[in-house]
Amino acid sequence: MEKTERNAILVHIIDKENKELREEYLEEFRLLVETLSYEIVAETTYSLREPRYSTFLGTGKIEEIKKLVELTEAKIVFIDNTLTFLQLRNLSREIRVPVIDRPHLILMIFSMRARTTEAKLQVELSQLKMRLPEIVHEEVDMDQQTGSEIGLKGPGERRTELKRRYIAKRIQILEKKLEEIKKHRFEMRKRRTKSNIPIISIVGYTNAGKSTLLNALTKSEAYVEDKLFATLDSLSRLGEIKQNISAIFVDTIGFIRDLPPQLIYAFRSTLEEILDSWIIIHLIDITDPLFREKMEIVLKTLKELGVEDIPIITVFNKIDKSDIESLDYLQSIYKDAIFISAKEGLGIDKLKEKIVSMLKELIVKVKIILPYKDVHLLDEIYSSANVLSRKDTEESIILYVEGYYSNLAKFKKYFVPQKTP
């Protein structure tokens, strides 16, 4: 493949909300494009007041990009914003090369990164859901009368209608397959909860070093690459925190700003594994100038998932790449945070100590007296905690259980206070 076939032009957007175009945002957009192995040959900015309905960009900017395409022999144009399908189609026609917006760029990366069956199904589902509205803007010559096509009957139906029906049917099939996978994962999660082994999720902005930390905590060899969205699948590994104390560590998909809603929906079942966590490790790249904004994006996403009562450990990663002065300053501000280098193994023992101390606070031993009229709750108690002993009396079932308090809180009215020596 000739180098020119991978030449790309970037269009950065300055809008009302983002009047300053920070270099860090430019660099993130460049990294997204470079992840697809494109060679960036030109960049331009556009001050957006009101987007043009049909082309998003103004005529002057379109002409400028056309000239850049001719000059650089670029084969594709990426715009760091969300456009309608009508705008993308019209721009591609005007400029005479494919024009891709931010959501489609991220989807292209997801498609390239998908390795497991589930990830591939999730990506295809997102592609089809993003494709469905596009049919409204299909070219006129595609909207002609036709006979039976792609296995669907009905002479006289329009091709666009057939395509719409085909995509809708395929979406149903994919959603059914993903629902089956979700049920299987739910059963696995139930077994994890029943085993009473602590579950600790590692979350963070993409490329924060989550997989590297998973390897450091569990002495495993999970796939690691210094690129955005190196993996799309949650990965679980058992690791020893302290002698006789182990935990299941879960590496989750990385977060990013302006993640397309279709992708959030598609990967929601994967992200929902976080809800089973005893503890969440929020991993932050200390060398990233935008780490504060990215921290907010991660916390906002967790809130949207319904994560409220799960304790969070804030962990700053890559301290081996930070200078002492900056490190001292951040340690003085984030006093409860842990500072590590997952790659070099620095601070991992401190992180483990923090996890152990938090687990001691989270695990409780309680006595439960369950009346027979509520015996239907017995299976749920067994699945929520480790039952240490059981005694069946004439009036009730007496259980001594050990488990995570938030799992047992729903049975609080059956708790019996323990006598202290």
Strands (E), 318-417: 338-339, 363-371, 386-392, 396-404, 415-416
Mean pLDDT for all residues in the chain: 82
Query: Can you tell me whether residue 145 is helix, strand or coil?
Result: strand
pLDDT at 353: 94
Between CA 332 and CA 334 the distance in angstroms is: 6
pLDDT at 181: 81
How many CA within 13 A on the CB side of residue 139? 5
- Banded pLDDT at 69 (limits 50, 70, 90): very high
- Banded pLDDT at 3 (limits 50, 70, 90): low
Residue 376 backbone zone (phi > 0: left; psi -120 to 50: alpha; other: beta) = alpha
Between CA 266 and CA 300 the distance in angstroms is: 18
Residue holding tokens 């790249």? Answer: 285
Q: What average pLDDT does range 226-245 have in this prediction?
A: 72
Between CA 362 and CA 356 the distance in angstroms is: 10
pLDDT at 84: 87
Read off the tokens for 217. Answer: 């905590």
Q: What is the DSSP string of 285-306?
A: ETT-TTHHHHHHHHHHHHHHTT
Strands (E), 210-287: 235-242, 245-251, 279-285
Asked whether the beta carbons of 65 and 44 are under 8 A apart, the reply is yes
Least confident of 108-112, 160-164, 191-195: 191-195
Q: What average pLDDT does range 272-298 have in this prediction?
A: 89
Most confident of the following: 33-42, 130-139, 140-149, 402-411: 33-42
Q: Which residue has the higher pLDDT, 266 or 334?
A: 334
Least confident of 147-156, 278-287, 356-365: 147-156
pLDDT at 267: 63
Between CA 323 and CA 45 the distance in angstroms is: 33
List the strands of the sheet with 245-251, edge to edge: 235-242, 245-251, 199-204, 279-285, 312-317, 338-339
Q: What average pLDDT does range 359-374 have in this prediction?
A: 89
**Biggest alpha carbon distance in the chain?**
89
Whether the predicted pLDDT of 231 surpasses 90 = no
pLDDT at 140: 40
Q: What average pLDDT does range 85-110 have in this prediction?
A: 91
Q: What average pLDDT does range 149-158 have in this prediction?
A: 48
Query: Can you tell me whether residue 241 is helix, strand or coil?
Result: strand
Cβ neighbours, 10 Å, residue 124 = 19
Query: Can you tell me whether residue 78 is helix, strand or coil?
Result: strand
Model pLDDT for residues 240-272, shown as the tens digit of each residue: 898 778 888 988 877 777 776 666 666 666 677
- Banded pLDDT at 131 (limits 50, 70, 90): confident
Strands 7-14 and 39-47, by their bridges, are: parallel
Whether the predicted pLDDT of 407 surpasses 90 = no
Q: What average pLDDT does range 52-56 have in this prediction?
A: 92
Phi, psi of 391, deg, nearest 5? -135, 125
Whether the predicted pLDDT of 189 surpasses 70 = no
Cβ neighbours, 10 Å, residue 167 = 17
pLDDT at 80: 92
Whether the predicted pLDDT of 207 surpasses 50 = yes
Query: Can you tell me whether residue 224 is helix, strand or coil?
Result: coil
Q: What average pLDDT does range 48-63 have in this prediction?
A: 92
pLDDT at 332: 94
- Banded pLDDT at 143 (limits 50, 70, 90): very low
pLDDT at 285: 94
Model pLDDT for residues 383-405, shown as the tens digit of each residue: 878 899 999 999 999 999 988 77
pLDDT at 183: 80
Q: What is the DSSP string of 204-219?
A: EBTTSSHHHHHHHHHT
Between CA 247 and CA 354 the distance in angstroms is: 13
The answer for residues whose C-beta is within 8 angstroms of residue 72's C-beta and 6 or more apart is: 7, 9, 41, 42
Whether the predicted pLDDT of 227 surpasses 70 = no
To the nearest whole percent, how much of the chain has pLDDT over 70? 82
Tell me the CA distances in angstroms from 218 to 61, 233, 246, 345, one per residue in order.
52, 17, 9, 12
Strands 363-371 and 415-416, by their bridges, are: antiparallel
Between CA 403 and CA 363 the distance in angstroms is: 5
Q: What average pLDDT does range 184-196 have in this prediction?
A: 65
Asked whether the beta carbons of 32 and 109 are under 8 A apart, the reply is yes
pTM of the model: 0.70
Segment (H or E) for 44: strand 39-47
Between CA 215 and CA 341 the distance in angstroms is: 12
How many angstroms from the chain centroid is the CA of residue 237?
A: 18
To the nearest whole percent, how much of the chain has pLDDT over 90? 38
The answer for residues whose C-beta is within 8 angstroms of residue 196's C-beta and 6 or more apart is: 385, 386, 402, 403, 404
Asked whether the beta carbons of 122 and 178 are under 8 A apart, the reply is yes
